[in-house]
A and B are shown apart, each in its own frame.
Chain A
C-alpha cells in the first residue's frame, strides 16, 4: 500500500506530507518554547528588585556558540541545494561540517555547565562589609554597605556541594574566594568601578586569585552551587538551554542517521532523500532560531 504525496507534491496545497507534518510539529514547538520564554518573562518581571542575577554567564562563549550554530544552519541549507543539484559528495562534506558544528556546540555547552557547577553563592546571616574584606569590593558600590551574599569559588568543595554535604565533611568554616564582581552590580556600575580602579592605579583588587574569606557555618543561611535550585534565573537557564541541547542532540541523531545508515535511499529514491534533508533541515533551523532568541535573553538582558 502506498500513501500518496510522500514524495511528490500535491497540486492544490503545493506541499508533500512530510513538510506539512514538520511545520505542524514546529508550530507545536513554537508553542512549547513560546511558553518557556513567557514563563521566563513572567518570573523576571515578578522578581523582587535586585534579585535577578545577571552577568553570571560567559558572554564570549555564548556568542561563539551562536556563531557555531548559525554556521551549521547555513551548511544544512547549502547541503540541500547540493542534493538538488545531484552532487552527493558536496552534500556529504557539508553535512559532516554540520555535525561537527553541532557536536562542538554540545561540547561547549557541557563545558559551560561544568564551569557553573563548582561556582557558589553563600547567603549570610550576619552581613559583612567591603571595609572588613577588601576582596569584596566588587560586591557593593559602597564600602560600608552590608553584603548579604558572596559569590565565588569554595576551597576543595568540588561540584554540586551543599551546606549539608560540607558539614558532613566535618567543616566548621567554609573558605570562599569571592568573584571580582557581584551580580547585584549592574554592567554600568561594574564598568565605572573598573575605570575608577584603573585611575587609582590599583590592580590588586581585580586580580583573579582573590584571597579567601573564612565563613563560619553558623553564619550561612543558604549555600548553593550555580545549579538549577540556586535561583529562578539558573532554573530557567538550565531548563531552557537543557531542553534546547536535547533538541540539538535530536537533530544530530537525525542528520547522522540520514547521512550514513539511510544513505542508500539516495540511490533508490533521490527525491525522497532530498526531501528528508529539507524536512530535517526545517527542524534544525528552528533549533537555531530558538538559540537566536535564547542567547540575548539569557546572556545579555
Chain B
C-alpha cells in the first residue's frame, strides 16, 4: 500500500518510517557523541597541562571561537563552557537520543510486531525538534561570549548573572529537546500499549521493550517539571524576573537593586533534579535492555528470572521519580527530607541489583558465543556494577557531604554511563547492524575496538575515584593545581592534593587520547561495513527469537510481510541441547531456538 516511488527527500529526510527515523537519530546522536568527546579531549589536555596552548587543534579553536581561545589556550570561561556543553551534549543530545530515539524507534515497533509507530508524523516531528534543539545548542558556541557556562545543571543565580547569552540559547535549545523527548515518549508508550501483535501479552514482551516502555514513562513524567523550570529560568534571563534570585543578592560587590528578589535557588534544584535523577535511569535502562537481548541470544539460554527483571524495572521506574533530592543533600534543605531521600535511594539499588544478578546468572552454564556484541554486553555487567556500587556512599547524606562535587562523583557516574551505557550501545550497534544493513561488521576490528575501549575507559575513570577521595574538586579549570601540594601558596597545608594525585591527570589525558584512537576502528568499521561488509546469509544471522528478526533484511516500509501472531515468550532458547528430553534423537535436525511467532505445531514434528 505504501508508495515506493517516494523521492529521496520524502524517503530519507522527511520520512515517517520509524526505521529511517531511527537511523537518522543514530547518525545524528553518534555525531553529537563524537562532538562531546572532542570537547572532553580538549578539557583533559587543559587539566593535564593548565595554561599551555592545545596542540594540533589550538589554532582551529582560536579561529573558530576567537578571544576565549586566544593563542590556542583554554581560558577559564571557555573551559566552563566546554564543561557545560560536554555534559549537555553527551546526555541530552547524545545518549538519550541514541538509546531512546535510535534504538527505541528502530526496534520497539519491530519487537512488538507493529508495522510502524502509532503516530508516524509525530515521530518525524520528534526528530526534527531534536535536530533544531541540537543546532541551536551548537550555534551558541559561536555567539559573543560563547556557550552556556554554568554546567549542565545550570544552577542559578550563577546561570542567570553570567552576562552572556549562552544560557538563553541553552534554555531555548533544551525546550526543543524536551519537546522531542515528550513526543517520542508518547509514541513509544502508545505503540507498546496499542500495537502489540495478537498473542503478544505483556509477559511475552522482550525485556528491551519493557525497558523502553519504562524509559518512555520516565521521560514523559520527569521532563515537564524541568521544562517548567527552564521556562522560569528563561523568564529570569529575558524578562528580569526573580524566580531563582533571593533577596539581598550581591553580584561582584554590587547589590542587585533592579531585581525584585524573593526567589529561591532551591526551587531550580528541585525542578532540575526531578528530571535529573530519572534521567540517569533513562540513560541506563535501555542499555540494560540491549544487554539483555544480546546476552540471551549469545548464551543461547532463556534469561534467568525474566519476571523478576520486569518487576524490577517497573519498581526502578517508580522509585526513580522519588529519589531526586539526593543530589541536594548539601543545600541545607533539612535533615527530615534528607532522611527520606536517603532511604528511597538505598531502596532503589535493590531492583538494580536484581537485574544485574539475573543477567549474571543467565551466563551460568551457557555455551557462550563471544562475538563482539557479546563482549561489550558481558563487560557491561562489571562496569555498570562498579558504577552502581560507587554510588552507594553518595546515597548516604553523611558520606555525600565529603564526596559531593568531587572527582569521585565524576568517576561514579561516568562508570555508569561510559563503560556502562555506551558499551551497551556498542553491543547494540554490532548486534543489530546486520538487520539494518544486511551486512555484518568486521569481527577483528570490533575486537580491537572492544579491548582498547575497555582498557582506556578504566584508565580514565578509575583514577578519578582516587582523585575524588583525595579531595580534588570537579569543575576546576586548572586541574586542581591551586589546591595541589606543589603550589607555592599551599606549602604545608594539610589536605592539599598530593603530587601523585595531580600526576593522574596526565594518565587520564593520555588514556583519553588513546580511547579516541581506539574509536577509529569502530568509525571505519561502521562506514566500511555499510558498503562492503560481509553479507548475511539469512534474515536471522544470530538465530534470535524476537520478532525483529522475522522480517526481510533490511525491513521494508511496513515491516512484516506475513501476519504476525505470537505464541511464546521472548527467549525460547536451549530447546534441545544434549540431555534435555525434547532433544532425544533430533539434536541435529532442529534448531535450538523457536522464534516468537513460530506456530506451536512445529515443536511436535
Residues of A that sit less than 8 Å from B by CB = 1-5, 10, 13, 15-17, 20-21, 24-25, 27-29, 31-36, 38-39, 42-43, 46-48, 51, 221-222, 224, 227-232, 235-236, 238-239, 243
Within 8 A of A (CB), among B247-285: 247, 257-260, 262-264, 266-267, 270-271, 274
Q: Are A21 and B186 in contact (CB under 8 A)?
A: yes
Interface-side segment among B124-132, B217-225, B298-306, B465-473: B217-225
Q: Are B195 and A36 in contact (CB under 8 A)?
A: no
Q: Are A28 and B223 in contact (CB under 8 A)?
A: yes
- A46 to B242 alpha-carbon distance, docked (Å): 13
Nearest residue, chain B, Cβ from A34: B225
Q: Are B224 and A28 in contact (CB under 8 A)?
A: yes
Q: Are A3 and B118 in contact (CB under 8 A)?
A: yes
What's the minimum C-beta distance from A262 to chain B, rounded to whole angstroms?
Answer: 14
What's the minimum C-beta distance from B416 to chain A, rounded to whole angstroms?
Answer: 25
Q: Give me 9 A-to-B residue pairs in the complex whose CB atoms sit less than 8 angstroms apart, sorted by A's number.
A: A1-B116, A2-B1, A20-B190, A27-B220, A46-B264, A48-B262, A224-B260, A228-B240, A231-B242
Contacts of B242 in A (CB 8 A): 229, 231-232, 235
Residue B59, interface by CB 8 Å: no
Total interface residues on B, using CB and 8 Å?
A: 50
What's the minimum C-beta distance from B43 to chain A, rounded to whole angstroms?
Answer: 33
Q: Are B232 and A17 in contact (CB under 8 A)?
A: no
- A222 to B247 alpha-carbon distance, docked (Å): 14
- A224 to B115 alpha-carbon distance, docked (Å): 58
Contacts of B114 in A (CB 8 A): 3-4
- A230 to B243 alpha-carbon distance, docked (Å): 11
Q: Are A21 and B118 in contact (CB under 8 A)?
A: yes
Q: Are A231 and B257 in contact (CB under 8 A)?
A: no
Residue B535, interface by CB 8 Å: no
Contact among A20, A28, A46, A229 for B259, CB-based, below 8 A: A229
- A5 to B274 alpha-carbon distance, docked (Å): 34
Binary interface encoding of chain B residues 165-196 relative to chain A, with 1 for a CB under 8 A from any of its CBs, else 0: 00000000000000000100111011001110
Within 8 A of A (CB), among B440-480: none
What's the minimum C-beta distance from A23 to chain B, rounded to whole angstroms?
Answer: 9
Contacts of A47 in B (CB 8 A): 262
Q: Are B239 and A229 in contact (CB under 8 A)?
A: yes
- A39 to B271 alpha-carbon distance, docked (Å): 9
Q: Are A35 and B262 in contact (CB under 8 A)?
A: no
Contact among B223, B227, B231, B241 for A232, CB-based, below 8 A: B241
- A227 to B187 alpha-carbon distance, docked (Å): 39
Residue B510, interface by CB 8 Å: no
- A34 to B195 alpha-carbon distance, docked (Å): 30
- A4 to B222 alpha-carbon distance, docked (Å): 29
Residues of B that sit less than 8 Å from A by CB = 1-2, 114-116, 118-120, 122, 182, 185-187, 189-190, 193-195, 220-225, 227-229, 231-232, 235, 239-243, 247, 257-260, 262-264, 266-267, 270-271, 274, 557-558
- A1 to B120 alpha-carbon distance, docked (Å): 11
List 17 extra interface pairs beyond A43-B267, A236-B243, CB under 8 A: A4-B114, A10-B194, A13-B194, A31-B224, A32-B224, A38-B225, A39-B271, A42-B266, A43-B263, A222-B260, A228-B240, A229-B259, A231-B262, A232-B241, A232-B260, A235-B242, A235-B260
Q: Are A17 and B243 in contact (CB under 8 A)?
A: no
Q: Is the interface of A mostly helix, strand, loop or mixed?
A: helix
Nearest residue, chain A, Cβ from B219: A28
Contacts of A243 in B (CB 8 A): 231
What's the minimum C-beta distance from A216 to chain B, rounded to whole angstroms?
Answer: 17
Contacts of B222 in A (CB 8 A): 31
- A174 to B134 alpha-carbon distance, docked (Å): 48
Q: Are A28 and B240 in contact (CB under 8 A)?
A: no
Q: Are A232 and B193 in contact (CB under 8 A)?
A: no
Nearest residue, chain B, Cβ from A231: B260
Q: Are A29 and B189 in contact (CB under 8 A)?
A: no
Contacts of B558 in A (CB 8 A): 1
Known: A3-B116, A32-B227, A224-B260. A20 touches B267 (CB 8 A): no
Contacts of A224 in B (CB 8 A): 260
Contact among A16, A33, A42 for B267, CB-based, below 8 A: A42
- A103 to B193 alpha-carbon distance, docked (Å): 37
Contact among A17, A28, A34, A46 for B182, CB-based, below 8 A: A28
Known: A5-B195, A43-B263. A17 touches B118 (CB 8 A): yes
Q: Are A235 and B186 in contact (CB under 8 A)?
A: no
- A3 to B18 alpha-carbon distance, docked (Å): 12
- A232 to B259 alpha-carbon distance, docked (Å): 10
- A231 to B231 alpha-carbon distance, docked (Å): 17
Q: Are A230 and B260 in contact (CB under 8 A)?
A: yes
Q: Are A17 and B228 in contact (CB under 8 A)?
A: no
What's the minimum C-beta distance from B319 to chain A, rounded to whole angstroms?
Answer: 17
Q: Are B189 and A20 in contact (CB under 8 A)?
A: yes
Q: Are B220 and A28 in contact (CB under 8 A)?
A: yes
Q: Are A43 and B243 in contact (CB under 8 A)?
A: yes
Contacts of B260 in A (CB 8 A): 222, 224, 229-232, 235
Contacts of B195 in A (CB 8 A): 3-5, 17
Known: A17-B194, A51-B262. A24 touches B271 (CB 8 A): no
- A199 to B69 alpha-carbon distance, docked (Å): 75
Nearest residue, chain B, Cβ from A232: B262
Known: A35-B224, A229-B240. A1 touches B118 (CB 8 A): no
Contacts of A239 in B (CB 8 A): 231-232, 235, 241
What's the minimum C-beta distance from B230 to chain A, rounded to whole angstroms?
Answer: 11
Known: A39-B271, A239-B232. A48 touches B224 (CB 8 A): no
Known: A1-B116, A232-B262. A32 touches B225 (CB 8 A): yes
Q: Are A24 and B557 in contact (CB under 8 A)?
A: no
Q: Are B186 and A36 in contact (CB under 8 A)?
A: no
What's the minimum C-beta distance from A222 to chain B, rounded to whole angstroms?
Answer: 6
Contacts of B2 in A (CB 8 A): 1
Nearest residue, chain A, Cβ from B191: A17
Contacts of A230 in B (CB 8 A): 260
- A69 to B193 alpha-carbon distance, docked (Å): 33
Nearest residue, chain B, Cβ from A32: B224
Q: Are A13 and B193 in contact (CB under 8 A)?
A: yes
- A236 to B267 alpha-carbon distance, docked (Å): 13
- Which of B185, B243, B259 counts the most A-chain CB atoms under 10 A from its CB? B243
What's the minimum C-beta distance from B463 to chain A, rounded to whole angstroms?
Answer: 39
Contacts of B239 in A (CB 8 A): 227-229, 235, 238
- A163 to B194 alpha-carbon distance, docked (Å): 59
What's the minimum C-beta distance from B179 to chain A, rounded to whole angstroms?
Answer: 10
Contacts of A38 in B (CB 8 A): 225, 270
What's the minimum C-beta distance from B212 to chain A, rounded to whole angstroms?
Answer: 14
What's the minimum C-beta distance from B311 to chain A, rounded to whole angstroms?
Answer: 21
- A222 to B241 alpha-carbon distance, docked (Å): 14
Contact among B190, B221, B223, B235 for A228, CB-based, below 8 A: B235
The 6 nearest A-B residue pairs measured at CB: A35-B225, A235-B241, A32-B224, A31-B224, A35-B228, A229-B240
Nearest residue, chain A, Cβ from B223: A28
Q: Are A35 and B235 in contact (CB under 8 A)?
A: no
Known: A228-B240, A229-B239, A239-B232. A3 touches B263 (CB 8 A): no
Q: Are A31 and B119 in contact (CB under 8 A)?
A: no
Contacts of B187 in A (CB 8 A): 21
What's the minimum C-beta distance from A111 to chain B, rounded to whole angstroms?
Answer: 20
Contacts of A232 in B (CB 8 A): 241-243, 260, 262-263
Contacts of B225 in A (CB 8 A): 31-32, 34-35, 38
- A32 to B223 alpha-carbon distance, docked (Å): 8
Contacts of A1 in B (CB 8 A): 1-2, 115-116, 557-558
Q: Are A24 and B186 in contact (CB under 8 A)?
A: yes
Q: Are A24 and B263 in contact (CB under 8 A)?
A: no
Contact among B120, B231, B264 for A43, CB-based, below 8 A: B264
Contacts of B240 in A (CB 8 A): 228-229
- A221 to B256 alpha-carbon distance, docked (Å): 12
- Which of A13, A21, A34, A238 counts the most B-chain CB atoms under 10 A from its CB? A21
Contacts of B224 in A (CB 8 A): 28-29, 31-32, 34-35
- Which of A17, A32, A39, A43 counts the most B-chain CB atoms under 10 A from its CB? A39
What's the minimum C-beta distance from B196 to chain A, rounded to whole angstroms?
Answer: 9
